[in-house]
């Protein structure tokens, strides 16, 4: 009996098959990417809902931190005003060059003002606004809140009974919306003035023709929609940046990764939102010649 027990070999567990390994890899991929993306989206929607609710409640109860709001408005304006001008002018020049070449080919030089102006108002201004908000404002918000998070300032505020959403997130969302709308109007002015000057002095255009064709096609709804787009861009960027900053981890390197993630996510979200809003506007309010 002893000899028989000694000769018995221990049971060997069967190795997982190829299909099992592929299934485990796919389940891990789902947990690492799509599932986490959905969880992040849900968390950001919840944060945006809570921040808007806290914004309305704090204003009605006269507890809104206006000092923080004004401070954030000044900060966001300082980090985005100069880059906005430096980006808006080249875009307006490129639009004027491309439009000028096209209308020369088809013999419709009298419509260059309408095409250039509407291109800047409808697409140029919202796109430049989205780039500036995602790149300058979003990164600044994420770096600020991310630094507070890794220094455990957010945890300390919660321990003291201070709501970070009401105290930090709500003022930044309101400031981002306001600054985005102001930036959009500023870009419209700079872009239209640049296109006009470039067409008149560089392309030998007629000032009256440029202004007349623009006035024939442009309506107030175009500017209103552009400003509303900017407000939506500011709201989305602030929510994404605040959520990413509040969940930063891993020290200074984690803050840098959070900033990169916030900028990329904001840019992708804003471009997709711009396409959806543009298509909705063109469907509901088509262009009409006056």
List per-residue pLDDT tens for the chain, 290 residues long: 444 444 554 544 445 566 666 666 666 655 666 777 777 788 888 988 999 999 999 889 888 888 989 999 998 888 888 888 888 888 888 877 777 677 667 666 666 777 777 778 877 888 888 888 888 888 889 999 999 999 888 889 888 888 889 889 999 999 999 999 999 888 888 888 888 888 788 777 778 777 877 777 777 778 888 899 899 999 999 999 999 999 888 888 888 888 988 888 888 888 888 888 888 877 876 665 54
Q: What is the model's pLDDT at position 37?
A: 74
CA distance 28 to 131: 34
Cβ atoms of 150 and 254 within 8 Å: the answer is yes
Q: What is the model's pLDDT at position 18?
A: 65
Q: What is the model's pLDDT at position 31?
A: 62
Q: What is the model's pLDDT at position 20?
A: 66
- Helix 220-246 and helix 138-150, axial crossing angle in degrees, nearest 10: 20
Closest by CA to 239, choosing from 272, 199, 283, 270, is: 270
Cβ atoms of 89 and 193 within 8 Å: the answer is no
DSSP classification of residue 248: -
Q: Which residues have C-beta within 8 Å of that of residue 96, sequence separation ≥ 6? A: 112, 116, 194, 195, 198, 199, 202, 203
Cβ atoms of 130 and 270 within 8 Å: the answer is yes
Q: What is the model's pLDDT at position 12?
A: 46
Burial of 109 from C-beta contacts in 10 A (0-12 / 13-18 / 19+): middle
Cβ atoms of 177 and 76 within 8 Å: the answer is no
Catalogue the E-assigned strands of the chain.
none
Q: What is the model's pLDDT at position 1?
A: 45
CA distance 16 to 115: 64
Q: What is the model's pLDDT at position 278?
A: 82
Cβ atoms of 154 and 47 within 8 Å: the answer is no
pTM over 0.85: no
């Amino acid at each position: 009996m002893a000899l028989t027990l000694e000769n018995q070999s221990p049971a060997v567990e069967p190795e997982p098959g190829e299909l099992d390994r592929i299934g485990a890899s796919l389940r891990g991929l789902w947990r690492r990417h799509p599932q986490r993306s959905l969880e992040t989206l849900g968390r950001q929607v919840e944060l945006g809902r809570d921040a808007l609710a806290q914004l309305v409640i704090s204003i009605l109860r006269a507890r809104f931190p206006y000092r923080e709001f004004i401070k954030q408005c000044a900060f966001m304006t300082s980090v985005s005003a100069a880059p906005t001008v430096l980006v808006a002018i080249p875009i307006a020049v490129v639009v004027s060059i491309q439009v000028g070449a096209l209308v020369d080919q088809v013999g419709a030089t009298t419509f260059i003002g309408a095409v250039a102006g509407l291109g800047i108002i409808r697409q140029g201004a919202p796109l430049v606004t989205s780039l500036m908000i995602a790149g300058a404002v979003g990164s600044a918000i994420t770096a600020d809140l991310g630094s507070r998070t890794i220094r455990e300032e957010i945890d300390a505020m919660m321990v003291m009974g201070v709501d970070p959403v009401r105290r930090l997130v709500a003022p930044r969302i309101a400031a981002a919306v306001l600054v985005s709308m102001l930036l959009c109007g500023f870009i419209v002015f700079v872009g239209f003035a640049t296109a006009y000057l470039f067409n008149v002095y560089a392309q030998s255009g007629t000032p009256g023709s440029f202004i007349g064709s623009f006035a024939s096609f442009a309506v107030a709804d175009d500017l209103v929609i552009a400003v509303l787009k900017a407000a939506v861009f500011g709201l989305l960027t602030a929510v994404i940046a605040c959520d990413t900053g509040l969940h930063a981890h891993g020290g200074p390197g984690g803050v840098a990764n959070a900033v990169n993630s916030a900028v990329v996510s904001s840019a992708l979200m804003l471009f997709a939102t711009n396409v959806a809003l543009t298509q909705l506007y063109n469907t509901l309010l088509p262009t009409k010649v006056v």
